[in-house]
């Protein structure tokens, strides 16, 4: 009975966290209202700063929600640091190769160019590069790993289903605003990366493995765009 109650609490926490993440853009209305910003005339630079603000708020809430588990998993990460880092690098490389390969195949078949999500990110990097390094390289990975890995693992006890569901939803969220059917094909490369993050979490039992892998991935891509 106690375990069932605990599981229900985990489900409710995960639902709340996912809804918070999905509607996090509305948090940006707080500084917009306070500073009397014209929502019809928001520059890319201001958009980056607003994104940083909403992500910081979301991260604080998620930390409060999962602080006990995150502290416990941080100890696991530190105690087996060498093994966890080795696992992280191996799975990240596999995920990266699969992501790149599927991107190439999609582009060869449909001549699509970059995924629309990537185009939007590139525009924001050009506007305010170092702020985007913080937002995309640090804040977003921490939040997304709690949502797509931690929450999913707490809800889906079957490891195989957890990995597949985590990768699929992670990929889907990155193409949800695609303007044409071809754009949805990019769920495959994003999904491959999501699966690799889920596998490293499953393997190491600490979400920090996937958090740091995600940070590494996003930071490298952002720095390459800046430089």
Q: Is the pLDDT of residue 184 over 80?
A: yes
Q: Is the pLDDT of residue 18 over 80?
A: yes
What sign does the dihedral 56-58-61-63 (CA atoms) show? negative
Distance CA 128, CA 47 (A): 9
Q: Name the more confident of 38 and 153.
A: 153
Instruction: Give the model confidence (pLDDT) of 57-116 as tens digits.
Output: 999 999 999 999 999 999 999 999 999 999 999 999 999 999 999 999 998 888 776 666
Question: What does the pLDDT read at residue 41?
Answer: 86
* Band of residue 40 on the pLDDT scale cut at 50, 70, 90: confident
* Band of residue 174 on the pLDDT scale cut at 50, 70, 90: very high
Number of domains in the chain: 1
Instruction: Give the model confidence (pLDDT) of 102-155 as tens digits.
Output: 999 998 888 776 666 777 788 888 889 999 999 999 999 999 999 999 999 999
Q: Is the pLDDT of residue 216 over 90?
A: yes
* Band of residue 4 on the pLDDT scale cut at 50, 70, 90: confident
* Percent of the chain residues topping a pLDDT of 70: 98
Q: What is the domain extent for residue 115?
A: 2-226
Q: What is the mean pLDDT of the chain?
A: 93
Tell me the CA end-to-end span of the chain in Å, nearest whole number.
Answer: 56
Buried b (16+ CB within 10 A) or exposed e, 124-146: bbebbeebbbbbbbbbbbbbbbb
Question: What does the pLDDT read at residue 105?
Answer: 93
- Kindly list the distances between the CA atom of residue 180 and the CA atoms of 113, 116, 175, 183, 185, in Å, as whole numbers in the listed order: 13, 10, 10, 5, 10
Question: What does the pLDDT read at residue 19?
Answer: 97
Question: What does the pLDDT read at residue 1?
Answer: 67
Distance CA 170, CA 201 (A): 14
Q: Name the more confident of 182 and 56.
A: 56
């Amino acid at each position: 009975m106690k375990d069932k109650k605990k599981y229900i609490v985990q489900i409710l926490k995960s639902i709340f966290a996912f809804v918070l993440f999905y509607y996090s853009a509305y948090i940006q209305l707080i500084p917009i209202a306070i500073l009397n910003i014209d929502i019809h005339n928001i520059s890319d630079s201001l958009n980056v700063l607003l994104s940083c603000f909403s992500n910081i708020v979301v991260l604080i809430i998620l930390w409060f929600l999962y602080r006990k588990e995150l502290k416990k998993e941080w100890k696991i990460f530190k105690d087996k640091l060498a093994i966890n880092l080795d696992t992280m690098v191996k799975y990240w490389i596999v995920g990266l190769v699969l992501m790149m390969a599927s991107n190439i195949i999609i582009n060869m078949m449909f001549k699509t160019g970059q995924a629309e999500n990537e185009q939007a990110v590139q525009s924001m990097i050009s506007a305010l590069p170092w702020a985007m390094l913080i937002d995309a390289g640090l804040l977003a990975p921490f939040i997304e790993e709690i949502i797509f890995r931690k929450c999913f693992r707490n809800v889906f006890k079957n490891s195989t289903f957890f990995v597949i569901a985590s990768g699929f939803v992670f990929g889907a969220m990155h193409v949800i605003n695609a303007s044409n059917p071809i754009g949805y094909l990019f769920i495959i490369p994003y999904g491959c990366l999501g699966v690799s993050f889920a596998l490293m979490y499953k393997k190491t039992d600490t979400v920090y493995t996937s958090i740091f892998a995600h940070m590494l991935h996003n930071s490298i891509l952002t720095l390459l765009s800046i430089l």
